[in-house]
Structure 1
C-alpha cells in the first residue's frame, strides 16, 4: 500500500496538466508547443533517471530509494507552485519527474522481492490499479480544488502530501535484505541490453504505453475541447471516466494475465492483442469514425495500464536480483517514448495555428496518425520471427524441465534464453 501511494502521486503528477493546462496557458501565455514541452519534460527526466534508479533499487532496496526521491518530488511541486514563466515551470516539472522516478519501479521491485513469480502479474495489476487512481484524482477532484484555490495552491497541497508519503514509506515499510553485490554500475545491464527478446518487446511496449500516457496526460482534453467541442465540465467528466477505466484496466489485465498463464497463454500474446486494440482505437479518432466520443479514449486509457503485462514479461526474462535494472531499462523506453509523443504532438499541432482559440481537427489527425504509423511498425517488428533468442552464447547452467506450463527457457547467468523451436503449445 505505501508504494501504491507513491505511484498514486506519480500518476497524479503525470496527468494533472490535462486539467491545469488551460489555466497555465491563460495565466502565463503558453501555446500548444510550450504546454507540450513543459508536460513532456516529466517523461524525459523519468527516462534519463530509470537506469541509475534501477541500480539503486537493486543495491539499496525500494524503501530507502522511494522515500528519498519523493522528497525531491515534493520540492519540485512547491517550486512549480511558485513558477512565473515557461522556464521555471519547465525546471520545476523536471524536478517532479526526477522525484517520482522510482514510483513505479520501487513497487515492482518490492513485489518481486516479496511474492512468487507466478503471482507477479496479478499483484502488479493491483498496485497499478491503486496507483492509477491518481489519474482519477487529477480530474474532478483536482478541478474542484482549482475552482476554489487555483493551480498554485493545488501544487502546494501536492507538495505537502508527497512529503508526507515519503515519511510514511520510510517508517512503515519493513526492510527486506537485498543482495547489492551484483548491482554495481553497469552490472547486469549488458545482459539486459544484449537480450534480443528485450528488444522485441521494448519498442512495442514503449510505442503503445508511452503514447497512451502522453495522450491521456495532455492531448485527450485538448482533442475533446478543440475537435469535439465539449464544454469544460464535459471534458473533466470524460477524463474522470477514462481514469477510472485506467485503474480498473490494470486490475483486469493483471487477473487476465494470471489466468491465461495457467492456460498456457503467455503475456506476450496479451500485450500484442492490447496493442492491436490500441491502434484501432486511435484510427477511430484519426478517421473520425461515427463512434461514441468517449469510446476510443476508454480503450486508450486501458493501454496506459498495460505495464502490468510488460513488467510481468520482463520478470520472466530476468532474475529478481536484476529486477530493478530490467524494469528501469524498459521504463527508459516507456518514458522516452512518452516524451517524444507528447512534445512531438505539440510541435505538429502548433504548426496549424489556432482558429478562434482552437486548433483544427486536421492538426490532431496528422499528429495522432504519425504515432499510429510508428506503433504499427513496432507491432510488425514484435511479430517477426526470431524473438526467441538471446545473444549470450555461453551457458554455465542449464535448467530444462518441461511440464504443462513450460516456457521452454534455458537459463544462463541471469539471462533466460528461449528455445529456437517453439514448444508444443505454440510460439506466442
Structure 2
C-alpha cells in the first residue's frame, strides 16, 4: 500500500502556506482517479447499447427499461451521504477502492441475471459501488492541487470519464455485434476489479485524517444542505446534469430513431459524438473559467451561462432547426457538460474538511434527478402506443418540452443569486 505525502501530515494544497508537492505524485493522483471515474461512466451508459438486446431477450417495455437503467442512479444517489462521511474520514483512495468491490459483485449479478429483478439488483449494486468515483476524484485533487486550478482539473476528470460516453456508442455497438451483453458484463467486472487494485496499491494517500465522531460528521452534512450557496446552485445544476445524463445514457437512442429518423448505426455514431463533445466541453469550460475570472467574469456567472446554453440547445433540437446533426448533438454534449463547474463553485464555499460531503451532496441531488428523469421519460412515452418498438414524435417532444420548462425556472432562481456568487473569492 502506497502512502506517500499523506494529507494528514501536511497542510492542504489549497492553503496559503501549502508545501511544494512532488509533481509526479500530483499527476499520478489525477490519472488514477480519472480512470476510476471512466469506469463509473462506462457503467452509467452501458444500458444504452444493451437496450435492444434486453428488450428482445427480456421483453422489457420503455418504462421497464427506464426503471432498470435508473436503478444505477438510485443506488448511486442513496450511497452519497455515507460516501461523503467515508471520504472525509478515510480519504479517497481507501474509500473508492473498497466500494468498487460492490460494483464488481453487481456486474457479476447483472451478467448472470435470469430476469428483471436480478438485473435491477445488479444495477443497484453497481451504482452503490461506483458512487464515490467522482467525489473521490474531486476531493483528492482539492488536496493535491491549488483550488484555483479546480475548474480546469474537474474538467479534465470529466473529459477522461467522458471517454466512457464514447465507448458506449459505436465501440460498444461493434462489440455487441460479435458477442453478447452478458459477456461484456463479465468483462466490466474484471475491469472494475483491476481498477480497485490500482487505487489500493498505486494511488498516494490523500486525506482521511478526520477523527470526528459520527454525530459531528452528520452535523457537518446538515451544514452543507442548508448552506445558502448550495441551495442557490443545486436546482439548475441537478437539472442540467440529471437531464443530460438520463438522455445521454439511455433515451438519446430512442429520440434519434423516432424523432430524427436515424438508423441504429447513425445513432451510435452520434452518441459517440456527444461523448467526444462532452470531453472537449469539460476541458474548455475549465480552462475558460480560470481565464474569464481574471477578466472579471465570476465562476458562478460562467457556470450559469453554460447551463443556460444547454437549455437553448434543447430548444433548437425540439424546434427541429435545420442544422447538421453532428453540429447540433456536439453542442448538446458541450453545453450538457457545463454543470460540472458547479462542483468548483461549491468547493470554494466550504472548508476542506467538508469538501467531500459538499461534493457528494451535490452528486446525490444530481443522481436523484437522473433517476427521476429516466423513470419519468419511460412512463410518459408509454402513454402513447408504440408501433414496431417506436414511439410517436409527439411523445418525445412532449417530454423534452416539459424538462425545458423546469430548467428555465431553475435558471431564473440561479440568476437571482448572481451578485452574491460574484463575491466569492477566487
Equivalent residue, structure 2, for 1:306: 338
Given candidates 70, 74, 98, the residue that maps to 2:128 is 98
Q: Report SS of the residue matched to 1:148.
A: coil
Distance 1:226 1:332 in 2: 31
Given candidates 340, 349, 358, the residue that maps to 2:390 is 358
Indicate if the aligned counterparts of 1:50 and 1:329 stay in contact, CA closer than 8 A. Answer: yes
Gaps of 5+ in 2: 1-30
Equivalent residue, structure 2, for 1:72: 102
Equivalent residue, structure 2, for 1:374: 406
- Deviation track 1:71-99 (CA, whole Å, cap 9, x = no partner) reads 11111111111112221111111111001
Given candidates 122, 133, 138, the residue that maps to 2:168 is 138
Indicate if the aligned counterparts of 2:69 and 2:123 stay in contact, CA closer than 8 A. Answer: yes
1:284 aligns with 2:326: no
Equivalent residue, structure 2, for 1:402: none
Equivalent residue, structure 1, for 2:6: none
1:126 aligns with 2:139: no
1:408: Cα distance to partner? 5.6
Given candidates 155, 162, 165, the residue that maps to 2:185 is 155
1:330: Cα distance to partner? 0.7
Question: Structure 2 vs 1, CA of residues 344 and 135 (structure 1 numbering), >3 Å: closer, same or farther?
Answer: same
Equivalent residue, structure 2, for 1:259: 291
1:229 aligns with 2:226: no
Question: Structure 2 vs 1, CA of residues 190 and 66 (structure 1 numbering), >3 Å: closer, same or farther?
Answer: same
Equivalent residue, structure 2, for 1:400: none
Distance 1:294 1:354 in 2: 27
1:145: Cα distance to partner? 1.6
Question: Structure 2 vs 1, CA of residues 408 and 138 (structure 1 numbering), >3 Å: closer, same or farther?
Answer: closer
Question: Which protein has the bigger helix share?
Answer: 2
**Equivalent residue runs for 1:73-222 within 5 Å:** 73-182=103-212, 184=214, 185-222=217-254
TM-score, L = length of structure 1? 0.88
Given candidates 297, 303, 317, the residue that maps to 2:329 is 297
Equivalent residue, structure 2, for 1:46: 76
Indicate if the aligned counterparts of 2:307 and 2:336 stay in contact, CA closer than 8 A. Answer: no
Q: Report SS of the residue matched to 2:297.
A: coil
Equivalent residue, structure 1, for 2:360: 328
1:294: Cα distance to partner? 3.6
Gaps of 5+ in 1: 390-405, 410-415, 417-428
Equivalent residue, structure 2, for 1:28: 58
What CA RMSD, in Å, does the superposition of the two structures yield over aligned residues?
A: 1.8
Equivalent residue, structure 2, for 1:419: none
Indicate if the aligned counterparts of 2:90 and 2:210 stay in contact, CA closer than 8 A. Answer: yes
1:65: Cα distance to partner? 0.6
Distance 2:329 2:211 in 1: 45
Distance 2:177 2:35 in 1: 25
Distance 1:387 1:82 in 2: 54
1:13 aligns with 2:43: yes
Question: Structure 2 vs 1, CA of residues 10 and 177 (structure 1 numbering), >3 Å: closer, same or farther?
Answer: closer
Equivalent residue, structure 1, for 2:13: none
Given candidates 64, 85, 98, the residue that maps to 1:55 is 85
1:162: Cα distance to partner? 0.5
